[in-house]
Amino acid sequence: MADRDDVLIVGGGVVGLACGLALLEAGRQVRVLEAGTAGCGSSHGNCGTITPSHAAPLAAPGTIARVLRWMLTPDAPFRVSPRFDPALWRWMLGFAARCNRRDWLQAMQARVAILQDSRAALPVWLARHGIACEFESSGVDHVYRSRADFDAFADEADQLRALGIAVEQVDGAEYLRGEPALREGVAGAVRFPGDARLRPDRYVAGLARAFREAGGVIVEDCEVQAFEETGDGVRAQTARGVFTGRDLLLAAGAWSPTLDRSLGLRIPVQPGKGYSITYSRPALVPKRPLVLHERSVCVTVWDSGFRLGSTMEFSGYDRSLNPVRLAALERGAREYLHEPVGAVREEEWFGWRPVSVDDVPILGPVPGRRHLWLATGHGMLGVSMSVATGQLMTDLICGREPRLDPAPYAPARFA
Ligand SMILES: Cc1cc2nc3c(=O)[nH]c(=O)nc-3n(C[C@H](O)[C@H](O)[C@H](O)COP(=O)(O)OP(=O)(O)OC[C@H]3O[C@@H](n4cnc5c(N)ncnc54)[C@H](O)[C@@H]3O)c2cc1C
């Protein structure tokens, strides 16, 4: 048995590592227990956009009708694989119940607070820890080929502006004059100048390096099988033996519900599978990251490469790389871009986003437990919310005045 730590963290993704690094900065001794290697989960091949602009949750008025239409299309951007899975159906019912304007606006407020805090803190955090990950305050553009969809965004744009997000709407012809990488047929674009991007695998590698240099320990190939409170602390049973600590933070992303028996709390999170393809950088690339609206494809460009990513598929913990959905990324990109792919296809990837039933992250103490904490449910925005998540969890675990109102994120909302 290893010596007792102040904090054991289950999961070495962007969330677990950001929490670990913030806790080390606050003087805690921290050990991360990771089933694979640090950053091997959803944090690896995602699109790397930092997007306060994505404050609107998935559960929105009209989402259910759209999902039902998409059920008939195998390469649609959002898909539920129908099967017998009580946890999925419970989650779907809870999600459907939230597809109304009141819950949409409430979730948007909770999301924008943590997104904005994280976005503001990110450049300082990267500089302080010497993390080079191709971060750029680039902004992000959403490109529309449908005039009706472009016009329909006006309501969301108003809500975002009211919450402090800068939104610029650009006419299609003007947009094309400034963005030669795009093909004709753009009806308009929405620019979010406050957004940014980074290379996520480099970011997570940088977090892991900074964490270790600051004295943290990452135990890899160390799947946590169960844990329990032991009066004055916690005890975790793992593939590498038993670890003990004063506190335990479950940050296992989409896998968090697989350990919820140890928490005594049902975690309403489903794996929302997404795909990406990474290429060498084409000659003609967009000036900033794009979301190709009608196809829901995200295009991210770095000096080191070019990535297409997207799709949200609820198919449980299915590990297959679906060729239909990978092909849909390229097909979508071809409609908008002169050079939709790079010469070398470097990686095809899938990841499971930890999607909570209200699309708001689940952060804070486990109700009725003194030493158990939860940080999961970041959905499509775990990279964007990483710094503020680490700092909020550190405030809570260390008993400091929290920098954000923790109430909207509290696990107690599901107790
Ligand atoms: C296609 C795609 C595009 C995306 N684009 C963006 C984007 O542009 N911007 C953005 O902000 N977010 C984006 N996301 C979402 C983002 O990737 C996730 O929200 C984020 O990575 C979640 O981080 P995490 O640390 O919670 O989970 P993960 O990175 O999945 O980490 C969880 C870790 O826990 C480990 N683990 C699991 N079970 C156990 C166990 N029993 N014991 C020990 N360890 C365990 C896993 O091995 C894993 O390393 C995207 C996701 C996808 C799929």
Mean pLDDT by 10 residues, the chain (415 residues): 87 98 98 98 98 95 85 78 88 95 97 98 98 98 97 93 96 97 98 98 98 98 97 96 98 97 94 97 97 96 97 91 93 98 98 97 97 98 98 98 97 95
Proportion of the chain in helix, strand, coil states, percent, rounded to 5: 35, 25, 35
Closest ligand 1 atom, CA of 204? 29
Q: Tell me what pLDDT residue 2 has.
A: 59
CA of 410 relative to ligand 1 center, distance in Å: 20
Which residues, listed in sequence order, are joined to residue 305 by a DSSP beta bridge? Answer: 302
Among 2, 10, 1, CA closest to 247:
10
Q: Is the CB of 265 under 6 A from ligand 1?
A: no
Q: How far is the CA of 354 from the centre of ligand 1 (A)?
A: 7
CB of 292 within 8 A of CB of 187?
Answer: no
Q: How far apart are CA 81 and CA 71, in angstroms?
A: 8
278 lines ligand 1 (CB under 6 A): no
13: Cβ below 6 Å to ligand 1?
yes
Dist. CA 38 → ligand 1 center (Å):
11
Q: How far is the CA of 167 from the centre of ligand 1 (A)?
A: 28
Is the whole model's pTM more than 0.75, yes or no? yes
CA distances (Å), origin 314, targets 60, 71, 87, 129, 318:
17, 11, 12, 36, 9
CA of 390 to the centre of ligand 1 (A): 14
**Is the distance from the beta carbon of residue 390 to the nearest atom of ligand 1 less than 6 Å?**
no
Size of the chain, expressed as the number of residues it contains: 415
**Nearest in space to 107 (alpha carbons), one of 393, 389, 379, 402:** 379
Helices (H) and strands (E) counted in the chain, each on its own, are 11, 19
Query: What spacing in Å lies between the alpha carbon of 298 and ligand 1's midpoint?
Result: 17
CATH superfamily of domain region 5-414:
FAD/NAD(P)-binding domain (3.50.50.60)
> Do 381 and 114 meet the contact criterion of CB atoms below 8 Å apart?
no
Nearest-atom number in ligand 1 for the CA of 33 is 43
Ligand 1 centroid to Cα of residue 254, in Å, is 7
Most informative mutation of 78, 118, 255, 311 for ligand 1 (most atoms within 8 A of CB): 255
> With a 6 A CB cut-off, is 257 part of the ligand 1 pocket?
no
Burial class (CB in 10 A: 0-12, 13-18, 19+), 144: buried
